[in-house]
Amino acid sequence: MELRHLRYFCAVAEYGTFREAGRHLHVSQSAISEQVADLEHEIGGALLERSQRSTRLTRQGEIFLEEAKKTLLAAERTVDLTRRSLLGQEGTLAIGFFLWGAGGFFTRIIRDYRKLHPNIKLSLMDMHAHDQMAAMESGQLDIGFTRPLVAPYDKLFRSEPLYNDPIVVVMPKEHPLAKGPVTIQDLAAERWVLCERPFIPALFDSIIALCTSHGFSPNIVNGSSTWSGVMTLVEAGEGIGLVPSGARYIRPPGLVFCELEPNITKVGLSLVWNPLNEGPVVKSFLKLVRENKERIRKSAGN
């Protein structure tokens, strides 16, 4: 049994005669009659009562017609969904991000994408950079807004830089340096809170190198695995912190952010994806981000 058997039978039932069914389907009357006869033979009984002027459904034909229509509708929906998926208009998309890198542009990009592709089911996951890489490798994540790739992930995934976020100094509002800007020498005698090295090795090392180049080693008294954790420790009075400027979007009310001079220490944000999963849905999201790169840089102050 093929779908055309069902279409021909439904057409005869709708138009009343083989001739009219053939005319609407642009198929010969004899071909319609032959296919319906084959269908009845396969089922093992008559579906139509034939006369010279018209045809009429048997009781079994009525049952078959109802189910045949459901089957044809399901087939049409299957084809439509598949075509939409091939065009990137149907499917799912899992996107990883972290808060300091989500300020300004991220929410707007997501809103724009939902408007353009309302049938794509989005999953938005707040994840640390290392966790994003593991999730992308396992297939749980399709796209990540994360730090620039380092080994071994730079060989596994593709990425495009979005912007470089300058490092700023975060401190309590009542701190003597709170009016800013702040020079690196101003911080030589301060207690420091940093994001721990295992989570940001390149940035951690660049901060230490900056201090060394100005003749001192920072007095690091505490640390955290997250930028929000660093700010919580600063708010608790543990010391001053150095964080990406994007952390302003998750600022506790008791803190201020001051520009750091010289402003040479930055942390990058990149768009990352697995080329093995670069299907139409992923491509449609990448296209939107690329079209908005200039707006993204401006929102980050680059």
Q: Please name the residue that has the structure tokens 């807004």.
A: 145
User: For the stretch 149-162, what's the b/e string if a residue is b when 16 or more beta carbons lie within 10 angstroms of its beta carbon?
Assistant: beeebeeebebeeb
Does residue 220 surpass a pLDDT of 90?
Answer: yes
Choices 1.10.150.110, 3.40.630.10, 1.10.10.10, 3.90.550.10: CATH for 3-86: 1.10.10.10
The tokens of 81 are what? 């969904």
Give ranges for CATH 3.40.190.10 in the chain.
91-162+268-299, 164-267
pLDDT at site 100: 67
pLDDT digit string, tens, across residues 29-49: 888 888 888 888 888 888 888
Domain 164-267 is found in CATH 1.20.1260.10: no
| Beta bridge partners of residue 96, listed in sequence order | 125, 144
Higher-confidence position of 43 and 77: 43
Does residue 85 surpass a pLDDT of 70?
Answer: no
User: What fold does the segment set 91-162+268-299 form as a domain?
Assistant: D-Maltodextrin-Binding Protein; domain 2 (3.40.190)
Q: Which helix (H) or strand (E) holds 4?
A: helix 3-15
Least confident of 80-84, 89-93, 263-267: 80-84
User: For the stretch 94-116, what's the b/e string if a residue is b when 16 or more beta carbons lie within 10 angstroms of its beta carbon?
Assistant: bbbbbebbbbbbbeebbeebeee
Task: Tell me the backbone φ, ψ of residue 208, rounded to 5 degrees.
Answer: -60, -40
Give ranges for CATH 1.10.10.10 in the chain.
3-86
Mean pLDDT of 251-269: 84
| Of 23-37, 65-79, 202-216, highest mean pLDDT | 202-216
Q: What is the DSSP string of 130-162?
A: HHHHHHHHHTS-SEEEESPP-TTHHHH-EEEEE
Q: Please state the pTM of the whole predicted model.
A: 0.64
